[in-house]
């Protein structure tokens, strides 16, 4: 039994060892797998718990960091605002010290010396202007309020808004500054007493080794300094702060004060320049507060009869142009005014001249000039820009004086043309006089007409349907069917009376004049039976003086200019001058060409029978 048992156990033991040897280094599948699976599951659950706790801790740390950053940012913003306010206060104290030096030291000692008769007292008043008022305002009002504001109740907006309007007093000081500096220089050279006082004060420590002129400059720089600091303060100030809106208003007021001071400087400089030009040209109209000098320059004026050119000096203002010629003078540059052209109605266009490149023409109600630009600073574009600015500034007046439409005629009160603007009846073109042909206004369109042309009455809606005097053209429109606009019927009635009569004209109508479509000028063109025949160009049919006059003898007519293929254009060429016209339609072009070809073929001493064979046309 024992042997069997031992024998039976031994193989098992031996088998066990054998298997161990065969699979040495390997864990039995059943035992090892069960243990590893349980360990892996436990480890995964622990990781989840650990990760969740880590995320919570991390989020908590981030939250604490954010709260800390917000607190730090808040403290940083408050500190920045406080620093700006402190800087404003410190600079205000230093500024008041400088004002005290100017008013209580320089001005007081010089005034005391002027009382002894060393120099005129008005010199001191002109040098320091209103510096006493500025010093009193800052020392007695603004500085104490700033100190109280920063010490007890922070917030600059309310304090500056309260005092900002008083900063406009700087405009007088700024305007007088150049004159004051010049007086200091003059009297330092002229008066030893004046010079000694200035040098004595400047040698003291309170002056900081700076001159009187340097200290006089500080009030000029102070208002822009307020504006700069307040802009910086407003950038740092949160929008939800109670002081934000008030600070915005105070900044606007201070900016207006700064602009007011700057405009005073510009106005003073502009007036000074006007006086200088007046001394050069002797034209009293130049010295006018409404005038604004823009540009000046030398150009060549081309003669109308030949190819010669003369030097001219142009002064461009905001509302007119002066053309001058230089004259000899021993006391500086002097000019003789040749002509004055108003900006109202002025037009500029490029011209073509083989002998003189870069030429352009200025046409106004008073005169026409053909010029050659010698420098870019006085090119046609400069004048065009001035014209555009003038027209934009007068938009309100042009809107009020715009021509009424048929629908508005009688329903809206018109702008009356002033009596002194016209010398002829705007309907029949007869001259006015004080006895037999007096001026009357049409209550519908505002035109100035004579008694014969205003002997009509119509009930006008804008006047409560009361009967009012109207001109013949308005009467025809208001009492007839309103199928056609005023731009058609009334203009045609007035144009037919404004243009030369049948005995004078061959053809009339509107044409576009110019070589460049961007600078075309719409002109009322009248072809006459003068001796020799002439083509007159007007701004409007009612004008008495033409813009251009083109003699037709010796002119060649080109029906299809190469540069304008496909357009209803024709060109008149005379010697080296070319005139290009554009018609509204091909039929109108054919009518003009037929009349022009006949007239340009008439020899000197015109053939009357040929003239009589030409019919009269008015083209609209």
pLDDT tens for residues 286-314?
877 678 888 888 888 887 666 678 889 99
Our measurement of the distance from residue 502's CA atom to the centroid of its chain's CA atoms, rounded to an integer in Å, reads 48
Give the model's pLDDT for residue 64. 61
pLDDT, greater one: 359 or 470: 470
Give the model's pLDDT for residue 519. 73
pLDDT, greater one: 17 or 146: 146
Work out the percent of the chain whose per-residue pLDDT is above 90: 15
The angle at the Cα of 481, spanning 477 to 483, to the nearest 5 degrees, equals: 95
Q: How far apart are CA 13 and CA 171, in angstroms?
A: 119
Instruction: List, for residues 27-75, the tens digit of each pLDDT value.
Output: 444 434 444 444 344 445 566 666 677 677 777 666 666 655 555 555 5
Asked if residues 101 and 69 have their Cβ atoms less than 8 Å apart, the reply is: no
Give the model's pLDDT for residue 375. 60
Query: Taking 80 as the threshold, does the pLDDT of residue 531 lie above it?
Result: no
Q: Kindly state the DSSP code that residue 512 receives in the 8-state scheme.
A: E
Q: Given the structure tokens 């102070």, which residue do they identify? A: 222
Q: How far apart are CA 251 and CA 557, in angstroms?
A: 67
Give the model's pLDDT for residue 154. 59
Q: Give the mean model confidence (pLDDT) for residues 409-438.
A: 77
Topology annotation, domain 280-378: PH-domain like (2.30.29)
- Tally: H helices and E strands in the chain: 17, 19
Give the model's pLDDT for residue 127. 94
Give the model's pLDDT for residue 72. 54
Ranges for all domains in the chain classified under CATH 2.30.29.30: 280-378, 505-601
Ranges for all domains in the chain classified under CATH 3.30.40.10: 401-479
Give the model's pLDDT for residue 159. 87
pLDDT, greater one: 308 or 316: 316
Give the model's pLDDT for residue 208. 84
Q: Give the mean model confidence (pLDDT) for residues 7-22.
A: 43
pLDDT, greater one: 464 or 485: 464
Q: How far apart are CA 79 and CA 533, in angstroms?
A: 87
Query: Taking 60 as the threshold, does the pLDDT of residue 323 lie above it?
Result: yes
Q: Is the peptide bond before 84 cis (omega within 30 degrees of 0)?
A: no
Give the model's pLDDT for residue 123. 93
Q: Give the mean model confidence (pLDDT) for residues 548-556.
A: 78
Q: Give the mean model confidence (pLDDT) for residues 262-282.
A: 77
Asked if residues 540 and 491 have their Cβ atoms less than 8 Å apart, the reply is: no
Q: Give the mean model confidence (pLDDT) for residues 547-565.
A: 76
Query: Taking 60 as the threshold, does the pLDDT of residue 124 lie above it?
Result: yes
Ranges for all domains in the chain classified under CATH 1.20.900.10: 78-260
Query: Taking 50 as the threshold, does the pLDDT of residue 146 lie above it?
Result: yes
The dotted CATH code for 78-260 is 1.20.900.10
What's 401-479's CATH class?
Answer: alpha beta
Least confidently predicted of 113-127, 185-199, 249-263, 478-492: 478-492
Mean predicted lDDT score pLDDT of the chain: 76
Helix pair angle (192-202, 212-236), 10° resolution:
50
Asked if residues 370 and 351 have their Cβ atoms less than 8 Å apart, the reply is: yes
Give the model's pLDDT for residue 138. 94
Q: How far apart are CA 498 and CA 430, in angstroms?
A: 10
Q: Give the mean model confidence (pLDDT) for residues 523-529.
A: 83
Most confident of 370-374, 402-406, 466-470, 540-544: 466-470
Confidence class of residue 438 from pLDDT cuts 50, 70 and 90? confident
Least confidently predicted of 233-247, 253-267, 573-587: 253-267
Token pair for residue 443? 């209550």
Q: Does domain 505-601 have CATH number 3.40.190.10?
A: no
Q: Give the mean model confidence (pLDDT) for residues 434-453.
A: 85
Instruction: List, for residues 333-367, the tens digit of each pLDDT value.
Output: 889 999 888 888 788 888 877 777 778 888 887 88
pLDDT, greater one: 153 or 511: 511
């Amino acid at each position: 039994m024992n042997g069997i048992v031992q024998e039976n156990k031994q193989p098992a033991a031996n088998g066990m060892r054998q298997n161990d040897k065969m699979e040495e280094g390997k864990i039995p599948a059943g035992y090892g797998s069960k243990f590893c699976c349980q360990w892996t599951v436990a480890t995964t659950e622990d990781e989840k718990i650990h990760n969740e706790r880590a995320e919570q801790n991390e989020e908590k740390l981030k939250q604490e960091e954010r709260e800390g950053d917000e607190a730090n940012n808040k403290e940083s913003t408050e500190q920045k605002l406080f620093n700006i306010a402190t800087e404003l206060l410190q600079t205000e104290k230093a500024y008041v010290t400088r004002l005290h030096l100017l008013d209580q030291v320089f001005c007081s000692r010089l005034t005391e010396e002027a009382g002894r008769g060393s120099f005129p007292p008005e010199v001191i008043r002109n040098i320091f202007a209103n510096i006493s008022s500025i010093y009193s305002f800052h020392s007695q009002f603004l500085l104490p309020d700033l100190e109280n504001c920063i010490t007890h109740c922070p917030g600059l907006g309310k304090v500056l808004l309260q005092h900002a309007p008083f900063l406009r007093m700087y405009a007088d000081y700024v305007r007088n500054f150049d004159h004051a500096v010049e007086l200091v220089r003059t009297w330092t050279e002229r008066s030893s007493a004046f010079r000694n006082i200035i040098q004595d004060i400047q040698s003291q420590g309170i002056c900081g080794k700076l001159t009187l002129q340097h200290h006089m400059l500080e009030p000029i720089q102070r208002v822009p300094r307020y504006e700069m600091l307040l802009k910086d303060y407003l950038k740092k100030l949160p929008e939800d702060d109670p002081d934000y809106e008030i600070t915005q208003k105070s900044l606007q007021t201070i900016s207006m004060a700064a602009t007011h001071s700057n405009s005073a400087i510009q106005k003073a400089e502009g007036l000074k320049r006007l006086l200088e030009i007046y001394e050069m040209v002797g034209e009293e109209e130049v010295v006018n507060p409404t005038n604004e000098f823009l540009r000046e320059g030398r150009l060549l004026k081309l003669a109308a009869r030949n190819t010669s050119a003369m030097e001219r000096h142009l002064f461009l203002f905001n509302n007119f142009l002066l053309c001058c010629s230089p004259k000899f003078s021993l006391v500086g540059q002097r000019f003789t005014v040749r002509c004055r052209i108003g900006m109202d109605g002025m037009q500029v266009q490029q011209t073509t001249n083989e002998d003189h490149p870069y030429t352009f023409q200025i046409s106004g109600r008073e005169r026409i000039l053909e010029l050659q630009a010698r420098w870019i600073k006085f090119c046609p574009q400069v004048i065009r820009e001035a014209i555009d600015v003038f027209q934009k500034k007068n938009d309100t007046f042009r809107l009020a004086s715009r021509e009424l439409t048929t629908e508005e005629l009688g329903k809206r009160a018109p702008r009356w043309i002033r009596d002194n603007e016209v010398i002829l009846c705007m309907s029949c073109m007869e001259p006015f006089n004080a006895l037999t042909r007096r001026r009357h206004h049409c209550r519908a369109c505002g035109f100035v007409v004579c008694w014969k042309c205003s002997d009509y009455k119509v009930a006008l809606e804008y006047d409560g349907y009361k009967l009012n005097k109207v001109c013949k053209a308005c009467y025809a429109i208001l009492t007839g069917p309103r199928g056609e606009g005023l731009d058609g019927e009334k203009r045609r009635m007035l144009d037919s009376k404004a243009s030369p009569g049948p005995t004078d004209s061959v053809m009339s109508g509107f044409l576009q004049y110019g070589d460049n479509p961007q600078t075309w000028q719409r002109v009322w063109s009248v072809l006459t039976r003068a001796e020799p025949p002439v083509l007159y160009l007007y701004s409007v049919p009612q004008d008495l003086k033409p813009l251009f006059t083109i003699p037709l003898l010796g002119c060649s007519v080109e029906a299809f200019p190469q540069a304008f293929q496909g357009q209803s254009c024709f060109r008149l060429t005379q010697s080296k001058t070319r005139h290009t016209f554009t018609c509204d339609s091909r039929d109108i072009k054919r009518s003009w060409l037929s009349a022009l070809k006949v007239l340009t073929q008439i020899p000197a001493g015109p053939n009357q029978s040929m003239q009589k064979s030409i019919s009269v046309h008015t083209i609209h």
